Structure 1
Amino acid sequence: MKKMFPKLTASLAVCSMLTSASFAAAEVIKIGVQAPITGQYANEGQSIDNGVRLIVEQQNARGGVLGKKIEVVTCDDQGAAQQAAICAKKLVNEGVKAVIGSYTSGATEAAQTTYNRAGVLQTSDGTSDSLIAHKYWTFFRNSFPNSAEAEYTAKYFVDGKQYKKIVILSDYSSYSTDLADATVKALKAKNANIIYEGKIKSGTQNFTATLTKIKSMDPDVIYFSGYYTDGGLLRAQQIQLGIKADFVGGDSNDNPDYMKLAGDSAKGTLLINVPTPDILPYDIAKTFLVDYKAKFNMAPASIWSLMNVDGLRAILHVMEQSKSDDTKVIAEGLHALKDFPGITGPVTFREDGERIGGGYMTYEVQADKSYKIVYQ
């Protein structure tokens, strides 16, 4: 009997350790971040991750949610569909309840099915209309769809600027193609004259062949629906070639790196987007911006960071209100959410996960890289 006691004591100790470990795991709610932490969209991805971590830090300081600590698990999808699919599997295996991201529509869509099958919530700033087409109960868009921006753009081009000769440029990404197609459709509905529709290969860096072809058409405006990484170079090369047309960038050109890439040529650029973070008329937005700058010694990269933060804030709000971390219960609460006070404005979701609302503005870039509102 004496020889059995050490074994029994050891067994009890192991059981105690396992119980403690299980209890500790149960006291943590994991939130995933899927974003381009590296690669060409890294400043956007890092800003999303920073914003999520700041909100989680503040929430944990207040006692977490449902008495549990929140833990952030980040996966770098590099803004690419293949890597996004890998991230989705990794985050599901990590046991996250919800995923914030991704930044690009292509990466977001590549992960959707995995999250849906696992019952993991996903909220993203991706704007492609196709993201809602699957009608996954797990998916919520915290931005606004390309079709809404396209309607605004067509109104601005036809009623506001009265452009007679319009060029539409996109890249091959799902986001850019979707926005360009929606804009063309909206312009044609207003009988606008589109003289050229073309595509560039993202990352090419030299677009002079395409721009030289466009120059011969003497357009009034060149509209680019792609990302800032190409938009800044397009604008710089447009000016170098002496093309006098207005350059209008879709919402993903609204980024500090656009200014760096365009250089002095950024002056006069017209950018279409929802209101920029610094002019949002909400106290909660002003407070968040102050806190973000104090924490990271910089401002968020763009409005997209704040939209992703609002996705997380809405999820945490519903958890607290429903007193549940069951994703089915949270999804039901999000679908019923009405005018939740978000950093980017009131948050209301339709039954298909689409965010309702959203007003757009056109900004003209000034010589000092500041913005002037010219149309809303």
Structure 2
Amino acid sequence: MNFKKLTGALALSAVVASSLVAADTVKIGVQAPITGKYANEGQGIDQFVKLIVNEKNEQGGLLGKQIEVVTCDDEAKAQKAAVCAKKLVNAGVFAVIGSYTSGATQAAQTTYYRSKVLQTSDGTSDDLIKKKYWTFFRNSFPNSAQSDFTAEYMVNTKKYKNIVVLSDYSSYSTGLGDATEASIKKLGGNVVFRGKIKSGTQNFTAMLTKIKAMKPDAIYYSGYYTDGGLLRSQQAQLGIKADFIGGDSNDNPDFLKLAGKAAEGTVLINFPTPDILPYKEAKKYLGMYEDTYNMKPPSIWAVVNADGLRAIMHGVEQTKSFDTKKISDYLHTLKDYPGITGPVTFRNDGERIGAKFMVYSIQKDGSYKVVGQ
């Protein structure tokens, strides 16, 4: 065989080998903060995805194909999220789970849309749905749903007279803070101050000293646990007696560590915590997670992302296809799919509907007590 024929044969065999691998496997991406300040959340998402995938592979795979998980660490940063999106698309994934933050999710959205790659995220910013990308599905619930619930609790249940609303500058936190302020005012509540902090500042005494002079009876914080725990601790150090209410992203074990003794009495508003989810699927998969990793999920966010993955796999099986448009069309009509976090129903714009929130009070031992729903 001459050189040209030999190289041609080698090239053909490489194509055939590649086709065989592609025929036997399918790739799902995870875009999450595996490192950085939200690492425990990102790692929880990655671990839960791999748990679900391993189960499916042991059952024979997805339409007979073994699933390979490709993980990209976006550190919850928009720039790195955009890089992750390109890497995962180039890796050949047909769907991506993530990211954890709305900002990182949004930074990757357009790339996935243009590449016809499905994306499901726990990001709660209402902006994530505005472009109406057929590739995007929210596996949690939007800020607007949480803000109405929060305002109802603060204005009508607790009857707070002077409320401070704080956020950081991220799209998620700002959006939730603004929506909550608007919901409070719609109910006739009084927001005495709407402020913003720079995430990662560590020392918030200047802002808190300003707030102390306003004599609020409630401080609501819509940002992440990494700052929320410090805010709560420093509030106590300054002797500010106001109740502290944290939005959903304060619900993390590290909030307790950062707040220290001041964590007691803190109120958090979020979906039902994993340990009290009453569904059959919750008991099964949360038990599997704990058996596999010798720990509980860091928060509800790993669990809702697992539901996003399970919904996509269900769509593949129902359409008997990896055609992402066909899967998307099916998911837009999905109703009451039995999720770990409860029935999963998507609206025709990819929004998950049927939000349910709970109010938790942190006890002295760090446990949660349900005080409202």
Band the TM-score falls in, shorter-chain normalisation: over 0.9
Q: Give the partner amino acid of 1:69.
A: Q
Within the candidate set 90, 110, 122, 1:113 is matched to 110
Q: Give how far 1:250 is off.
A: 0.2
Structure 2 CA distance, aligned partners of 1:194 and 1:17?
A: 66
* Residue 40, structure 1, aligned to residue 28, structure 2: no
Alignment match, 2:196: 199
Within the candidate set 81, 90, 97, 1:93 is matched to 90
Q: Render the CA deviation track for 1:27-57: whole Å, top value 9, x for unaligned.
A: 2111000000011100000000000011001
Q: After the TM superposition, which residues 125-164 of structure 1 pair with which residues of structure 2 at under 5 Å, given as runs?
A: 125-164=122-161
Alignment match, 1:182: 179
Q: Render the CA deviation track for 1:52-102: whole Å, top value 9, x for unaligned.
A: 011001100000011101010011010011111111111111111000000
TM-score by length of 2: 0.98
Q: Give how far 1:207 is off.
A: 0.4
Within the candidate set 317, 339, 342, 1:320 is matched to 317
Structure 2 CA distance, aligned partners of 1:6 and 1:84?
A: 45
Q: Give the partner amino acid of 2:268.
A: L
Q: Render the CA deviation track for 1:93-113: whole Å, top value 9, x for unaligned.
A: 111100000000000001111
Q: Give how far 1:16 is off.
A: 3.4
Q: Give how far 1:18 is off.
A: 3.1
* Residue 303, structure 1, aligned to residue 330, structure 2: no
Q: Which runs of 5+ in 1 are unaligned?
A: none
Q: How many residues are treated as equivalent by the alignment?
A: 373
Q: Render the CA deviation track for 1:190-229: whole Å, top value 9, x for unaligned.
A: 1111111111100000001111111111110000000000
Q: Give the partner amino acid of 2:63.
A: L
Structure 2 CA distance, aligned partners of 1:107 and 1:371?
A: 29
Alignment match, 2:264: 267
Alignment match, 2:369: 372
Alignment match, 1:354: 351
Alignment match, 2:246: 249
Structure 2 CA distance, aligned partners of 1:133 and 1:174?
A: 13
Q: Which runs of 5+ in 2 are unaligned?
A: none
Matched-pair identity in %: 67
Q: Give how far 1:283 is off.
A: 1.5
Structure 2 CA distance, aligned partners of 1:365 and 1:156?
A: 16
Q: Give the partner amino acid of 1:105.
A: S
Q: Give how far 1:231 is off.
A: 0.2
Alignment match, 2:167: 170
Structure 1 CA distance, aligned partners of 2:100 and 2:54?
A: 22
Q: Render the CA deviation track for 1:172-196: whole Å, top value 9, x for unaligned.
A: 0000000001001101101111111
Q: Give how far 1:295 is off.
A: 1.0
Moved more, 283-292 or 169-178: 283-292
TM-score by length of 1: 0.97
Tell me the SS of whatever aligns to 1:318: helix
Structure 2 CA distance, aligned partners of 1:14 and 1:92?
A: 24
Tell me the SS of whatever aligns to 1:73: strand
Q: Render the CA deviation track for 1:271-295: whole Å, top value 9, x for unaligned.
A: 0001000000012111111111111
Structure 2 CA distance, aligned partners of 1:260 and 1:220?
A: 24
Q: Give the partner amino acid of 2:19.
A: S
Cα distance change of structure 1 residues 197 and 8 upon mapping to structure 2, 3 Å threshold: closer
Q: Give how far 1:6 is off.
A: 9.8
Q: Give the partner amino acid of 2:27.
A: K
Structure 2 CA distance, aligned partners of 1:61 and 1:195?
A: 56
Structure 1 CA distance, aligned partners of 2:214 and 2:41?
A: 35
Structure 1 CA distance, aligned partners of 2:235 and 2:262?
A: 9
Q: Give the partner amino acid of 1:268.
A: G
Tell me the SS of whatever aligns to 1:196: strand
